[in-house]
Amino acid sequence: MIPRTPSALFPSISPLLSAKPEGPGRLRRLTSLMLLRVVLYTLLLGGTVVVHVLWGAAEELAGAYVAALFVFITSVYVLHILYALWLRRTRDLHRMAVVQITVDLLSSAVLVHCTGSAESAFVLFFLLSPIAAALTLRRRGALITALGGSALLTTTVLLGYWRLLPVLPGLSHYPWQLPPSTIARSLAISCAAMVAIAALAEYLAEQLRQASTQVEAQQAQIDDLAAIYGDVVRCLTSGLLTVDTAGQVLTINEAACELLQRHDTELLGRPLARLAPELAALLRDRQPVQRAEVQLQPSSDGPALVLGVSVSTLADRHERTIGHILNFQDLTRLRQMEQTMRRSEHLAALGRVAAGVAHEIRNPLASISGALQLLRGETQLAGENRALMDIALREIERLNGLVTELLDYTRPRDAPLFEALDLGPEAEQYAAQLRGLLVADDAPRVVVEAPQRGLWVRGDRDRLRGVLWNLVQNAWQAGEHDTVTVSVGPVGPQQVLIEVRDRGCGITPEHRERLFEPFFTTRADGTGLGLAIVHRAVQDHGGTIEVRSEPGVGTTFSITLPRTAAPEEAR
C-alpha cells in the first residue's frame, strides 16, 4: 500500500515538511538554551580563573572569591537539574521561559556585583537575556526583558556604589571606588546595547515567526494534497506502482498488491525484476510505453492474468528522471469475454447454417422415410433384403433425430414465456427424476448440494432440466467415476451459480476450446450437439457457462444465471 506520509508520496518537498509546530519548537529552544547556559557559565567562569592565573593575578582568586565562584557554578548546575525535572512535568512552557529569564537576570546581577560592578566582564550576560526572551517568549518579550535588565543592572551598580550591598573581600577594586563618569558611561553603553539587541532580536524573531507560519501553512496544504492524492491512488481500481532507476519498487497501491497477490511489505524496496519479471521487461529500454499487454503468473498454482500496462517517466521538480510509473489493469475477464463473444458469433453462424441445412434435409428425408415404409409394407422382403431395409429406416430415424436437435438448437425462445423458478428445489426434484432414469449398472450417483432455498431465476423449466440432463449425461459418459455432484448456490446478491462436477478423465485444453461448437464430439456415437444446445440455452437465459477441467482429475461446468425476486405467492 502506498505510504500515507507526505514525504513518502512527494520526496522532492521533504525538506519543507521538517518544520515543527510552535509547542515542540519552543520546547526545543528552551532545552537548547538550558544546555547553552550551562556550557557558557562553565566556560566563562572557568576562563576567568585561567586568565587570572596567566596574568599573574592569582592572589585575587584566594579565599571568598573562589568560594563564591564554586557556589555560583554549583547553583547553576543544581538549578538546571531542577529546570530539567520541571520541563518533564509542565506544559506551561511560557511560564517556565519567564522564570528562566528572570533567574538569568538575577544571576547576572549577582555575578556582575561580585566581579567588579560596572566594569565586570559578565555584563555580557545581561545582553544574552533579551535574545533568549525573543526566542522563547511572545511578542515584546525581548524589549520588556531589555528594559527590566537595564533597570536591574542600574540598580545593582548604584546600590554597590552606595555601599548598600555586601561585597566579597579581597577584590582589586570595589564598586564605590569607580569614578561616577565610568559608571555612567558603562551603564549607558550596556543599557543601550540591551535595548538595541532586544529590538534586533524582536525583529528577527518576528521574521522567524512569520516564516514558521508560512511553512506551517504550506505544510498544511501539502498534507491536504498528499492526503487527497493518497486517497485517489488508493481508490484506483487499476494497479499503480513506481520504481527508481535501479528498478526497485518505491510506492504501490492496494490494487497493484491484489493483482500481484502480495503484501506491500513484500514489494516495497524490492527489485521489480524478481517480483514480476514480465513487468520489469517493459523497463529495459527505459522509454515510456503507451500500451502493452503482458501475461503474468502471480502464483505458481493460480491462473495467469492478462495485464494491460502503460509506462511513463517519473521525474523530480528539476525534470530529471528518477524512475518510472507503471499503471496496469486486469484484462483477463475482458479477453475472456471477447473470446466468448467471438465463439458465440462463430456458433451463431454455424447455427444459422445448420438450421438451413436441417430444413433442406427434413422434407426429402420425410419423403424417403415414407417411401421406404410403404415399400416395406407392400413388398415381401426376407433375409438380407429385410435387414438392409431395417438399416435404412434406422439411419433415417437417426438423421431425423439429428435434424430435430439442430432445429431445437437454432430455434429462438421467447423470454416473456419464462417463469419464476426456485433452483434449489428444482435441482432436488430433477435429481430424483435422474435417479429414476439412470438405472444402468454403471450409472453414476447424482448428489445435489442445494443448502439454500429462495434462489429464484426466470427461465424455461424444461430447457433448464435439459441443460442438467445433458451435463449429467456428459459426465456419465466421461467414465471412470461413480458420482456426479450438482451444486446450487448464490454468487453475491445478483447471481445464482449451478455447478456440475465429476471425477472423470477430464478434458484436454485443445478440446476445451471447441467444446461448445456444434458437431464437435470426442465420442464415435456422439452428434456434437448436446453441449452446443446447453450453451445456447444458458445464453437465452442471460447467463454464462464456463468449464474447468484437468486431465485425470475431473471436470466442472459452472453456469451463472441472473437472480430475480421471488414471486408474490412465494413470499
Q: Would residue 1 count as lying in a domain?
A: no
Last residue of a domain, one of 370, 391, 410: 410
Q: Which residues on neighbouring strands pair with residue 539, listed in sequence order?
A: none
140: left (phi over 0), alpha (psi -120 to 50) or beta: left
Segment among 138-142, 449-453, 459-463, 553-557 with least mean pLDDT: 449-453
Whether the pLDDT of residue 56 is over 60: the answer is: no
Nearest in space to 230 (alpha carbons), one of 250, 253, 248: 253
Residue 201 shares a structural domain with residue 78: yes
Last residue of a domain, one of 410, 443, 473: 410
CA Rg, the chain, in Å? 48
528: left (phi over 0), alpha (psi -120 to 50) or beta: left
Residue 424 shares a structural domain with residue 477: yes
Residue, of 353 and 125, whose pLDDT is higher: 125
Which pLDDT score is estimated for 508?
81
Residue 37 shares a structural domain with residue 167: yes
For the domain that residue 267 is a member of, what is the CATH number?
A: 3.30.450.20
Highest mean pLDDT among 3-7, 67-71, 88-92: 88-92
Question: If you average pLDDT over residues 11-16, what whole number do you get?
Answer: 35
For the domain that residue 397 is a member of, what is the CATH number?
A: 1.10.287.130
Residue 517 shares a structural domain with residue 463: yes
Residue 152 shares a structural domain with residue 46: yes
Mean pLDDT of the chain: 79
Q: Would residue 223 count as lying in a domain?
A: no
Query: Residue 55 gets which letter from DSSP?
Result: T
Which pLDDT score is estimated for 72?
79
Residue 244 shares a structural domain with residue 261: yes
Last residue of a domain, one of 296, 330, 364: 330
| CA quadruple 84, 86, 88, 93: dihedral, nearest 10 | -100
Range of the domain at 313: 237-330
Residue 60 shares a structural domain with residue 194: yes
Whether the pLDDT of residue 519 is over 80: the answer is: no
Instruction: For 217-229, write each residue's pLDDT tens digit.
Output: 998 898 888 888 8
Q: Would residue 465 count as lying in a domain?
A: yes
Residue 405 shares a structural domain with residue 310: no
Q: Would residue 454 count as lying in a domain?
A: yes
Can you tell me whether residue 142 is helix, strand or coil? Answer: helix
Q: Would residue 205 count as lying in a domain?
A: yes
Q: Would residue 561 count as lying in a domain?
A: yes
C-alpha cell read off for 160: 554597590
Q: Which residues on neighbouring strands pair with residue 485, listed in sequence order?
A: 447, 501
Q: How far is CA 502 from the centre of its chain?
A: 40
* Cα–Cα distance for residue pair 398/285, rounded to 1 Å: 63
Residue 242: its H or E element? strand 239-244
* Cα–Cα distance for residue pair 52/86, rounded to 1 Å: 37
Instruction: For 340-375, write each residue's pLDDT tens digit.
Output: 788 777 767 766 777 777 777 777 877 887 887 777
DSSP state letters, 403-430? HHHHHHHH----GGG-EEEEHHHHHHHH
Which pLDDT score is estimated for 249?
92
Number of structural domains the chain divides into: 4
Q: Would residue 230 count as lying in a domain?
A: no
Residue 96 shares a structural domain with residue 162: yes
Residue 115 shares a structural domain with residue 56: yes
Query: What is the amino acid identity at position 233?
Result: V
The set of long-range contacts for 447-451, using a CB threshold of 8 Å and a minimum separation of 24, is 447/483, 447/484, 447/485, 447/486, 448/485, 448/486, 448/487, 448/488, 449/485, 449/486, 449/487, 449/488, 449/489, 450/423, 450/424, 450/425, 450/486, 450/487, 450/488, 450/489, 451/424, 451/489
Q: Would residue 224 count as lying in a domain?
A: no
470: left (phi over 0), alpha (psi -120 to 50) or beta: alpha
C-alpha cell read off for 114: 561580585
Q: How far is CA 567 from the centre of its chain?
A: 43
Residue, of 339 and 172, whose pLDDT is higher: 339
Residue 180 shares a structural domain with residue 156: yes
C-alpha cell read off for 455: 434462489
Residue 395 shares a structural domain with residue 494: no
Highest mean pLDDT among 39-43, 91-95, 185-189, 516-520: 185-189
